[in-house]
A and B are shown apart, each in its own frame.
Chain A
């Protein structure tokens, strides 16, 4: 503010005249009855989320109790548990098991890779480096999801940079041996479960780093020093001091990595085998197969799994680390 403006301000009356009319009346009403204001503020967001979102979720849940007529392909709008029964067919159980295993492995790998980054950022990075670390985690987190997947398609392609690099290092035989293995192998990395796994870890990793870092920020540095003063080796300090204190953060991060892997259908579609994950099953059931009830029942699986997961996480105090 310039000096002139400040002078004008200073000479103006400090107490504003009361405003009359509708505006004044409304203002007075809000002051006397704060509940009215509260209600008015809450109404639009609650209506929007309640109708658009919760309403849709219930519409979805309702559909999972319908069934599809196998001959006509029409949806039979009568209450039945038959569709849920279909979930337990061997092929569908396979899909669920495959997805949960992948989610667990992805979570584990993200935790292992995230820990050193989070620990360094929380304990050693200061000033400029701290900001750099923060942006270094935030930029990949916010970069376009599809672009990230696309980048890995470039990397994992048979003619891509990874093969080239391994060839230069004379390590191509390692890749070939790995690809010849059952389950994890395939024609090239971009059409194997290994590729799917790498991309999942890459895309969800920042979601793990942030809560782990938040948990580690709260560990006082002298705790680690006390541990080593008392004769613990770095490994012992990690096992007995750091890890238990970081665990709520890891669990909080695993909520994201686990849930996001359970629901994703684009990554396994672009980089992976033809064997389906839950997300792909949902997508193909509602799209090409037109079996919306089964698709709806499939989406209930991650909701139930995440429900149990969140319940367990809450008991471990993971929500304080978010």
Chain B
């Protein structure tokens, strides 16, 4: 047996891995076919015919646009909050060792480690105890809380790779703390923050479990989809929206991957 590490895998392993990957991807590809089907009432396969008319129908649906716009606004603001909080937290944790450092890491990860339903109902019961009415901001409050961890993970990984001597050199050359942050620290962590921000956006854009508890009458796009899944009104429109959602979430993931692929293979792992 050669030991240069270049031998090929046993056939059984190849087949099992390929089947596993197909299992992961085929269902998503199926969505693309169904977006073009002419069938309205059932999920019949194979599709009796193909058409693009449902794209036009979806385009003219105000409820879809409203849900989409709410989702985008919520995701944008949650991402902004998560970027600030996550960066601060990761900078503090990676710069210094202090008492309770482990607890802070746990605190950041907890909202995503516990099942979403717990986060959701906890927030809801807190809102009801404090008499806070449901609004746009209650949704943002929930989303920002669990988005912090994605930014934090990406930024911490980058800080670990950034050498502290650069900061010292900048200080030695007379830059004050703010200049050092602006000209030395920020350029170093920028791509990690961008990647973390995009993942946070994708996470918020897709979130449904916490949102069902923190939204009142408002519908984000996932809530709109959930409604359609439970009480279908126009299946072809749901198909089209599903396909668009897949495409829209695909882009930030690919971008985040390309931004962080050299060195820290963190982006995205551990959603």
Cβ contact within 8 Å between B84 and A44: yes
State which of B20, B30, B86 has its C-beta within 8 Å of the C-beta of A161. Answer: B30
In the complex, which residue of chain B has the Cβ closest to the Cβ of A120?
B17
Cβ contact within 8 Å between B27 and A148: yes
A49-B115 CB under 8 A given contacts A23-B178, A41-B92, A146-B208: no
Distance in Å: Cβ of A63 to nearest Cβ of chain B: 5
Cβ contact within 8 Å between B115 and A116: no
Q: How far is the CA of A131 from the CA of B257 in the complex (A)?
A: 10
Q: Answer yes or no: A26 CB below 8 A from chain B CBs.
A: yes
Distance in Å: Cβ of B200 to nearest Cβ of chain A: 12
Q: Answer yes or no: B263 CB below 8 A from chain A CBs.
A: no
A135-B21 CB under 8 A given contacts A38-B92, A269-B230: no
A150-B84 CB under 8 A given contacts A59-B122, A120-B9, A266-B208: no
Cβ contact within 8 Å between A144 and B249: yes
Cβ contact within 8 Å between B125 and A296: yes
Cβ contact within 8 Å between A59 and B126: yes
Cβ contact within 8 Å between A49 and B88: no
Q: How far is the CA of A260 from the CA of B119 in the complex (A)?
A: 12
Which residues from B are CB-within-8-Å of A225?
A: 1, 3
CB interface residues, B 18-43, toward A, < 8 Å: 20-21, 23-25, 27-28, 30-31, 34, 42-43
- Stretch of A87-95, A175-183, A205-213, A243-251 at the chain-chain interface: A205-213
Q: Answer yes or no: B222 CB below 8 A from chain A CBs.
A: yes
Q: Answer yes or no: A48 CB below 8 A from chain B CBs.
A: yes
- Stretch of B56-64, B156-164, B187-195, B238-246 at the chain-chain interface: B238-246
Cβ contact within 8 Å between B253 and A138: yes
A159-B28 CB under 8 A given contacts A142-B202, A259-B115: no
Which residues from A are CB-within-8-Å of B24?
A: 136-137, 140, 202, 205-206
Q: Answer yes or no: B139 CB below 8 A from chain A CBs.
A: no
CB interface residues, A 21-63, toward B, < 8 Å: 23-24, 26-28, 30-31, 34, 37-38, 41-42, 44-46, 48-50, 52-57, 59-60, 63
CB interface residues, B 123-182, toward A, < 8 Å: 123-126, 128-129, 141, 144-145, 148, 171, 173-179
Q: How far is the CA of A22 from the CA of B87 in the complex (A)?
A: 24
Q: How far is the CA of A150 from the CA of B269 in the complex (A)?
A: 24
Which residues from A are CB-within-8-Å of B225?
A: 146-147, 150
Cβ contact within 8 Å between B23 and A24: no
Q: Answer yes or no: A282 CB below 8 A from chain B CBs.
A: yes
CB interface residues, A 258-316, toward B, < 8 Å: 259-260, 262-266, 269-270, 279, 282-283, 286, 292, 295-296, 299, 302-303, 306
Report whether over half of chain B's contact residues are helix, strand or loop; otherwise say mixed.
helix
Cβ contact within 8 Å between A142 and B249: yes
Cβ contact within 8 Å between B21 and A44: no
Report whether over half of chain A's contact residues are helix, strand or loop; otherwise say mixed.
helix
Q: Answer yes or no: B52 CB below 8 A from chain A CBs.
A: no
In the complex, which residue of chain B has the Cβ closest to the Cβ of A271?
B229
A157-B126 CB under 8 A given contacts A18-B176, A263-B114: no
Distance in Å: Cβ of B32 to nearest Cβ of chain A: 10
CB interface residues, A 192-249, toward B, < 8 Å: 202, 205-207, 210, 221-222, 225, 228-229, 234
Size category of the B interface is 35 or more
Flag B62-96 by CB within 8 Å of A: 1 or 0 each.
Answer: 00000000000000000001001110110110011
A302-B115 CB under 8 A given contacts A44-B88, A138-B253, A292-B125: yes
Q: How far is the CA of A263 from the CA of B121 in the complex (A)?
A: 11
Q: How far is the CA of A23 from the CA of B231 in the complex (A)?
A: 58
Cβ contact within 8 Å between A138 and B257: yes
Q: Answer yes or no: A124 CB below 8 A from chain B CBs.
A: yes
Which residues from B are CB-within-8-Å of A38?
A: 92, 95-96, 98
Q: Answer yes or no: A79 CB below 8 A from chain B CBs.
A: no
A270-B173 CB under 8 A given contacts A144-B206, A147-B246: no
State which of A27, A135, A264, A265 has its C-beta within 8 Å of the C-beta of B254. Answer: A135
Which residues from B are CB-within-8-Å of A24?
A: 176
A113-B271 CB under 8 A given contacts A45-B86, A157-B43: no
Which residues from B are CB-within-8-Å of A295?
A: 121
Q: Answer yes or no: B111 CB below 8 A from chain A CBs.
A: yes
Cβ contact within 8 Å between B129 and A299: no
A residues near B, CB below 8 A? Answer: 14-19, 23-24, 26-28, 30-31, 34, 37-38, 41-42, 44-46, 48-50, 52-57, 59-60, 63, 113-114, 116-117, 119-121, 123-124, 131, 133-155, 157, 159-161, 163-164, 202, 205-207, 210, 221-222, 225, 228-229, 234, 259-260, 262-266, 269-270, 279, 282-283, 286, 292, 295-296, 299, 302-303, 306, 322
Chain A to chain B: the 6 pairs with minimum beta-carbon distance, closest first: A263-B115, A116-B16, A27-B176, A56-B126, A120-B17, A56-B122
A-B contact pairs, 13 of them (CB 8 A): A23-B178, A53-B107, A57-B122, A114-B20, A119-B17, A120-B17, A142-B249, A143-B246, A151-B30, A159-B42, A207-B271, A266-B208, A306-B114
Q: A38-B92, A147-B225 are in contact. List 19 more A-B contacts (CB 8 A).
A: A16-B173, A23-B176, A38-B95, A45-B104, A52-B123, A117-B17, A124-B13, A144-B206, A144-B222, A144-B245, A145-B222, A146-B222, A147-B245, A151-B28, A159-B42, A221-B3, A266-B208, A286-B124, A292-B125
